[in-house]
């Protein structure tokens, strides 16, 4: 921006040629203009206060991100009493008062009809300044190369001030400009006389537009200038076509000058980095409070680094960076450390657009969102939700903010209770609302459906607001009348242990009344916390007679409760009891009880043996068990059988068999023996373990009575042999006779069935069975077994020819692998 030191732009531009000559003279022989300077470089002049630290070496004071009070900052003095005044600086008595209407009017007149404008070191501004003032920065600019190109990305736009009092906005639109920024104010003394026509003219052709303020930080406080800006066009509304306000924070346009007695200081306004950053926050926080959003900061990277010591912590302010390359490029150069990138780039001061040329770093849709749309939503309904424990206000609706298309919109509900208290509740709008998406096309999950607990009867008013990025509009208010929200009352009178041989319990007794409906039986919830940390809920009806309660509260006598809660484990217990009303619940009390362990049973596993038949195999399990907590009781025994394939089965046995030996030795009555056959389905080694199951649920445990291993045999087929086949004739009748032996080794004492097949000469087959029950001492001696295992098969025949005889041993073991062929022989008749 610049001071209006020339009468008009045409006259200033007419001196452009002589200005180039001056530049060449000041640059000296051989000093060429840089080919790719990204931005003008600031310099601290010798006119700064003698006692001031150099801005380039100053360290910025820490700055927090929280907003500062609007009056926390005051305008820093232009010249401190500790510093020697620069030559030409006024005395303290001559300094004008920024709060004086007369002094502000005088300053506005002195800076001219245009005041300062954006881009103080840009080619356009410096070219129109006085020769000596502008020449020092022209060595880093190229007036000839600017204005002939634009970046190939983003959305193009322009910024103007009073120096561009007449702009053909339709022409700018046709050239591609889609947004405009207009200078509104400067300091707290200047307003742009062309503001309204420029602001409205840009909008009338369809542009998105906004306002900027040129900061003079050593003139008055940030808060003061923010208020002045808002009062003179710097306001903002999320209407979809108003850009956020801008703080033009850059090179001192009046560097080294004294105007109307006010010395403007060096390029950093004679202020330290800490003073400057504090001033920006004062301005930003005031704008946020007045408009609902922080301003965008327009600055030059080199100037920001020099004068603020590259202050951090401003990333929540959008950045508009000024940098003027000498040739076409899409690279705006570095940005200050507070930002990762920029939102806008002022890339040229000499065209192609009027004023300064700019580019938005994104597409048009993102630029439209940057304007800050108003959140949308609807407060659809309010109702009363009643459960067994609570009364709630249920609110339903939807809300979304187009300025944050991928984010969840928060909903704030202010609830005014019957007693006048107002409470804020915050909810995310994340529930499923496909109807909203069908209309707006912004996703299914923008609904809210929430409950707010209440405990007072009467009239409630609920007002709901959609919390947007920039503004928080109300989306509706509703009123409801709620009855019966008072809490229940009651007392926990007793918690005591109840013990028998096979039962452990807690007796729980007290009373409860739901005062919102005393004629209805109240429910009591008892939460039992066990020694293992578990918790169990028990629901009890308060419907037993308690005339004492009625005498005091006049609510009827049937409001007592009494119950027993079974206990399964010894240890420390805590019981907490609550009276549950129609809408609310109340704690009636908590008690702690220690449950001592019960008795442990004793016993033994006497034996395990294998039983087999031709159809079934089993394990015979015998032993005894007794619980001294009740010696007349017959207790349970659990038998765990581990099979050869690794599977385990559990069998329950009642120790109810007579064991007179036990009665005699232990001196106890009753039958306490156990014996059973447990079916098995595979051969191999089994492990059997038995446990006595205690009567008392709080016994230390169920003791092991014993374990044993037993081999249940193997899976195989019968063995044997067809020893002979012959033909015998007697009384004119011929017979074929087969003899041999067979044994099933899994049940070697069993006499097996033998199947005989006789194939006659004509091919016919005859089958019949015999039993291998004839003595064969030779087989018994060889196999070391007992029993009879020989067989003879006889079949009458009549045809002449050859007969084939085959015999088969039929397995008797339940674990058989199949029947065995004992042999085949042929004989001729």
C-beta of residue 182 within 8 angstroms of C-beta of residue 195:
yes
Q: CA-CA distances (angstroms) from residue 549 to 385, 492, 493?
A: 30, 13, 12
- For residue 252, give both structure tokens: 């001192």
Q: What is the DSSP letter of 597?
A: P
Q: Rounded to the nearest 10 degrees, what angle do helices 222-229 and 273-291 cross at?
A: 40
Instruction: Give me the pLDDT at residue 744, please.
Output: 92
Q: What is the average pLDDT across 125-154? A: 55
Concatenate the DSSP letters of all residues of 482-494 into one string.
E---PPPEEEEEE
Concatenate the DSSP letters of all residues of 527-596 into one string.
EEEPTTS-EEEEEEEE-EE-HHHHHHH-S-SEEEEEEEEE--S-EEEEEEEEEE-SS-EEEEEEEEEEEP
Instruction: Give me the pLDDT at residue 359, please.
Output: 98
- For residue 736, give both structure tokens: 């074929």
Q: Rounded to the nearest 10 degrees, how much is the dihedral formed by the CA atoms of 332, 336, 342, 343?
A: -130
Q: CA-CA distances (angstroms) from residue 744 to 93, 418, 513, 614, 748?
A: 130, 93, 79, 11, 5
Instruction: Give me the pLDDT at residue 127, please.
Output: 62
Q: Name which residue leads in pLDDT, 174 or 78.
A: 174
Instruction: Give me the pLDDT at residue 22, please.
Output: 32
* 376-482 fold: Immunoglobulin-like (2.60.40)
pLDDT in tens, 260-312: 999 999 999 999 999 999 999 999 999 999 998 899 999 999 999 999 999 99
pLDDT in tens, 192-205: 999 999 999 999 99
Q: Which of 746, 606, 750, 612 is nearest to 677 (CA)?
A: 612
User: Strand 208-214 vs strand 179-186: parallel, antiparallel, or unpaired?
Assistant: parallel
Q: Is 134 exposed, middle or buried (0-12, 13-18, 19+ CB in 10 A)?
A: buried
- For residue 187, give both structure tokens: 């300091």
This prediction's pTM: 0.49
Q: What is the DSSP letter of 435?
A: H
The CATH number for 719-828, chosen from 3.40.50.300, 2.40.37.10, 2.60.40.10, 2.40.10.10, is 2.60.40.10
Q: What is the average pLDDT across 660-667? A: 93
Residue 430, CA atoms < 13 Å, CB-side half-sphere: 7
pLDDT in tens, 467-493: 988 788 899 999 999 988 888 999 999
Q: What are phi and psi of 297, to 5 degrees?
A: -100, 125
Q: Which of 105, 131, 92, 137 is nearest to 119 (CA)?
A: 137
**What does the alpha-carbon distance between residue 713 and residue 177 come to, in Å, rounded to a whole number?**
98
| CATH classification (class only), 9-47+77-370 | alpha beta
The segment(s) of the chain belonging to CATH 2.60.40.10 are 376-482, 489-595, 602-711, 719-828
Instruction: Give me the pLDDT at residue 128, please.
Output: 58
Under CATH, domain 489-595 is a member of which superfamily? Immunoglobulins (2.60.40.10)
Under CATH, domain 602-711 is a member of which superfamily? Immunoglobulins (2.60.40.10)
Reduced 3-state DSSP string for 34-61: CCCCCCCCCCCCCCCCCCCCCCCCCCCC
What mean pLDDT is reported for the chain? 86
Task: Spell out the residues 6+ positions from residue 656 whose beta carbon is closer than 8 angstroms to its own.
Answer: 634, 671, 672, 673, 674
Q: Rounded to the nearest 10 degrees, what angle do helices 273-291 and 301-308 cross at?
A: 110
Q: Name which residue leads in pLDDT, 201 or 715.
A: 201
Helix (H, G, I), strand (E, B) or coil at 662: helix
pLDDT in tens, 585-612: 899 999 999 999 989 999 999 999 999 8
Would you place residue 322 in the very low, low, confident or very high pLDDT band (cuts 50, 70, 90)?
A: very high
Q: What is the average pLDDT across 4-25? A: 33
Least confident residue range of 65-74, 448-457, 784-793: 65-74
**What does the alpha-carbon distance between residue 740 and residue 774 come to, in Å, rounded to a whole number?**
10
Instruction: Give me the pLDDT at residue 713, please.
Output: 85
**What does the alpha-carbon distance between residue 589 and residue 599 come to, in Å, rounded to a whole number?**
32
- For residue 300, give both structure tokens: 């030059």
Task: Spell out the residues 6+ positions from residue 776 whose beta carbon is closer than 8 angstroms to its own.
Answer: 741, 788, 789, 790
Query: What's the N-to-C CA distance of the chain in angstroms?
Result: 136
- For residue 782, give both structure tokens: 């060889």
**What does the alpha-carbon distance between residue 503 and residue 1 come to, in Å, rounded to a whole number?**
93
- For residue 239, give both structure tokens: 């209407």
Instruction: Give me the pLDDT at residue 72, please.
Output: 31
pLDDT in tens, 210-221: 999 999 999 999
23 alpha carbon, distance to own chain's centre: 62
Instruction: Give me the pLDDT at residue 714, please.
Output: 82
Q: What is the average pLDDT across 147-167? A: 93
Least confident residue range of 92-106, 158-172, 448-462, 761-775: 92-106
Q: Rounded to the nearest 10 degrees, what angle do helices 131-138 and 16-27 cross at?
A: 60
**What does the alpha-carbon distance between residue 743 and residue 764 come to, in Å, rounded to a whole number?**
29
The segment(s) of the chain belonging to CATH 3.20.20.80 are 9-47+77-370
**What does the alpha-carbon distance between residue 144 and residue 369 come to, in Å, rounded to a whole number?**
36
Assess whether pLDDT exceeds 60 at residue 681. Answer: yes
Task: Spell out the residues 6+ positions from residue 594 whose beta carbon is closer than 8 angstroms to its own.
Answer: 571, 572, 573
Q: Which of 199, 243, 501, 535 is nearest to 368 (CA)?
A: 243
DSSP H stretches of helix in 371-452: 434-440
Q: What is the average pLDDT across 647-674? A: 95
Assess whether pLDDT exceeds 80 at residue 106. Answer: yes
Catalytic residues, which ones?
A: 159, 248, 250
Q: How long, in residues, is the chain?
A: 829
């Amino acid at each position: 921006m610049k001071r209006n030191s020339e009468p008009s732009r045409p006259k200033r531009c007419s001196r452009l040629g002589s200005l180039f000559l001056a530049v060449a003279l000041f640059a000296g022989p051989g000093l060429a203009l840089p080919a790719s300077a990204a931005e003008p470089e600031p310099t601290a002049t010798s006119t700064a206060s003698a006692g001031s630290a150099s801005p380039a070496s100053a360290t910025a004071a820490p700055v927090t991100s929280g907003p500062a009070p609007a009056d926390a900052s005051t305008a820093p003095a232009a010249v401190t009493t500790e510093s020697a005044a620069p030559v030409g600086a006024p005395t303290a008595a001559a300094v004008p008062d920024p709060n004086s209407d007369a002094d502000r009017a005088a300053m506005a007149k002195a800076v001219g009809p245009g005041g300062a404008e954006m881009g103080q070191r840009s080619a356009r501004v410096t070219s129109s300044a006085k020769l000596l003032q502008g020449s020092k920065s022209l060595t880093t600019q190229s007036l000839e190369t600017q204005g002939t190109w634009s970046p190939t990305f983003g959305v193009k736009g322009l910024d103007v001030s009073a120096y561009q009092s007449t702009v053909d906005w339709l022409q700018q639109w046709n050239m591609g400009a889609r947004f405009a920024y207009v200078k509104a104010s400067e300091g707290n003394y200047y307003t742009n006389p062309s503001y309204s026509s420029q602001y409205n003219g840009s909008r009338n052709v369809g542009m998105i537009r906004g306002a900027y303020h040129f900061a003079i930080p050593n003139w008055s406080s940030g808060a003061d200038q923010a208020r002045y800006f808002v009062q003179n066009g710097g306001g903002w509304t999320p209407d979809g076509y108003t850009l956020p306000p801008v703080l033009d924070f850059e090179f001192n346009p009046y560097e080294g000058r004294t105007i109307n007695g006010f010395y403007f200081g060096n390029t950093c306004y004679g202020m330290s980095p800490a003073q400057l950053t504090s001033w920006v926050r004062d301005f930003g926080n005031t704008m946020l409070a007045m408009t609902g959003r922080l301003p965008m900061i327009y600055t030059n990277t080199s100037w920001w680094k020099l004068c603020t010591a590259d202050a951090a912590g401003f990333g929540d302010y959008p950045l508009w960076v000024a940098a003027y390359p000498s040739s076409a490029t899409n690279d705006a150069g570095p940005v200050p450390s507070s930002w990762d990138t920029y939102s806008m780039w002022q890339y040229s001061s000499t065209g192609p657009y009027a004023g300064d040329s700019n580019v938005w770093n994104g597409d048009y849709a993102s630029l439209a969102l940057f304007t800050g749309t108003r959140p949308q939503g609807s407060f659809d309904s309010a109702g009363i939700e009643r459960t067994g424990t609570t009364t709630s206000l249920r609110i339903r609706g939807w809300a979304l903010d187009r300025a944050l298309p991928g984010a969840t919109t928060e909903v704030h509900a202010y609830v005014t209770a019957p007693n006048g208290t107002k409470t804020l509740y915050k909810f995310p709008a994340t529930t499923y609302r496909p109807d909203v998406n069908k209309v707006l096309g912004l996703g299914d999950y923008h609904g809210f459906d929430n409950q707010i607990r209440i405990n007072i009867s009467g009239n409630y008013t609920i007002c709901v607001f959609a919390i947007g990025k920039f503004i928080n509009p109300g989306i509706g208010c509703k009123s409801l009348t709620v009855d019966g929200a008072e809490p229940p009352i009651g007392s926990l009178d007793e918690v005591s242990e109840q013990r028998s041989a096979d039962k452990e319990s807690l007796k729980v007794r007290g009373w409860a009344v739901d005062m919102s409906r005393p004629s209805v039986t109240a429910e009591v919830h008892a939460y039992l916390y066990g020694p293992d940390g578990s918790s169990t809920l028990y629901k009890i009806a308060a419907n037993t007679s308690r005339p004492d309660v009625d005498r005091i509260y006049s609510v009827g006598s049937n409001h007592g409760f009494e119950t027993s809660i079974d206990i399964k484990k010894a240890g420390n217990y805590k019981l907490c009891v609550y009276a549950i009303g129609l809408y609310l619940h109340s704690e009636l009390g908590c008690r702690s009880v220690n449950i001592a362990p019960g008795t442990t049973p004793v016993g033994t596993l006497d034996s395990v043996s294998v039983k087999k038949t031709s159809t079934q195999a089993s394990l015979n399990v015998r032993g005894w068990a007794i619980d001294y907590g009740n010696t007349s009781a017959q207790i349970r025994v659990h038998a765990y059988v581990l099979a050869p394939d690794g599977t385990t089965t559990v069998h329950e046995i009642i120790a109810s068999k007579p064991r007179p030996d036990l009665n005699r030795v232990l001196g106890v009555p009753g039958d306490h023996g156990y014996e059973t056959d447990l079916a098995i389905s595979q051969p191999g080694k089994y492990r059997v373990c038995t446990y006595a199951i205690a009567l008392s649920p709080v016994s230390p445990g169920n003791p092991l009575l014993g374990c044993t291993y037993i081999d249940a045999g193997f899976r195989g087929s019968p063995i044997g042999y067809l020893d002979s086949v012959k033909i015998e004739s007697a009384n004119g009748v011929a017979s074929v006779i087969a003899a041999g032996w067979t044994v099933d080794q899994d049940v070697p004492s069993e006499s097996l069935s033998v199947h005989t097949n006789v194939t006659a000469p004509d091919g016919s087959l005859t089958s019949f069975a015999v039993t291998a029950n004839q003595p064969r001492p030779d087989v018994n001696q060889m196999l070391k077994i007992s029993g009879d295992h020989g067989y003879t098969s006889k079949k009458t025949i009549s045809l002449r020819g050859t007969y084939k005889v085959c015999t088969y041993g039929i397995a008797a073991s339940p674990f058989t692998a199949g029947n065995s062929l004992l042999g085949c022989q042929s004989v001729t008749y």
